[in-house]
Amino acid sequence: MSLPDQPVYQACYRSTPIADPKTVILDIVRLSEVNNHKLGVSGMLYFSPVAYFQMIEGSEKNVLKLMDSIRLDARHAVIWESYQPVARRSFRTELPMGYIDDADLRSGAIDNGFHPKRDDYSKAQANIACQFLVTSGQQKYPSMSYTY
Ligand SMILES: Cc1cc2nc3c(=O)[nH]c(=O)nc-3n(C[C@H](O)[C@H](O)[C@H](O)COP(=O)(O)O)c2cc1C
């Protein structure tokens, strides 16, 4: 498990669902909780009928290894990926994979104006999405977040 002061690498991507997310999300989250924990990876996954956004953070080696297997998954098609070293994690390793969906947004539990469009694949959207995953995740899982 990585300590907060060890180098942290962050990946964020957007993908388009191929299988209906509602039917596969629990399988994905359950598997991710186990795998990511083993790898010392934490993160957040957003899903809707038209998009997945995911952020994972951990050691560079393990984040890249995980992305190699996620990219090959036939249940979705990855549209863009962005990578960066960060000063520290946004989520504790106690949250190997938190998830948020449209219901969280509609219920008003998380209201930060994030409404991903089916066809917006721009780099600007990537940056907004990564920020969305952090702020929304910290709202939904406050005890699992690092405070700054
Ligand atoms: C949207 C999406 C997100 C995923 N996120 C993760 C993840 O965070 N961790 C993980 O282990 N698998 C994740 N998976 C599943 C992987 O793609 C893959 O099935 C899993 O790592 C098992 O790979 P393996 O059979 O090569 O061990 C995700 C799949 C999808 C479709």
Domain ranges of the chain: 8-144
Q: What counts of helices (H) and strands (E) characterise the chain?
A: 4, 5
Phi, psi torsion values for 107, nearest 5 degrees: -70, -10
Which residue puts its alpha carbon closest to atom 9 of ligand 1? Answer: 32
| Cβ of residue 76 lying under 6 Å from some atom of ligand 1 | yes
Ligand 1 test: best mutation among 22, 35, 37, 38, most atoms within 8 Å of CB? 35
How high is the pLDDT of residue 3?
54
Give the tens place of pLDDT for each residue, 46-103: 998 888 999 999 999 999 999 999 999 999 999 889 999 999 999 999 999 999 987 8
Task: Fill in the amino acid letter for 101.
Answer: D
Q: Which residues contact 19 (CB under 8 A, 6 or more apart)?
A: 74, 75, 76
Q: Is the pLDDT of residue 133 over 70?
A: yes
Closest CA to 80 of 29, 136, 11, 137: 11
pTM above 0.85, yes or no: yes
Residue 82, classed as helix, strand or coil, is strand
Domain at 8-144: CATH code: 3.30.70.100
How high is the pLDDT of residue 19?
92
Distance from the first to the final alpha carbon of the chain: 21
Output the CA–CA distances (angstroms, integers) from residue 93 to 16, 77, 96, 121, 123, in the order listed. 27, 27, 6, 29, 28
Mean pLDDT for all residues in the chain: 88
For 1-148, where are the E strands, in sequence order? 8-17, 42-47, 52-58, 76-86, 98-101
Tokens 């939904």 -> residue: 140
Closest CA to 104 of 126, 135, 77: 135
Between 113 and 57, name the one with better pLDDT.
Answer: 57
Measure 69 CA to ligand 1 centroid, in angstroms: 6
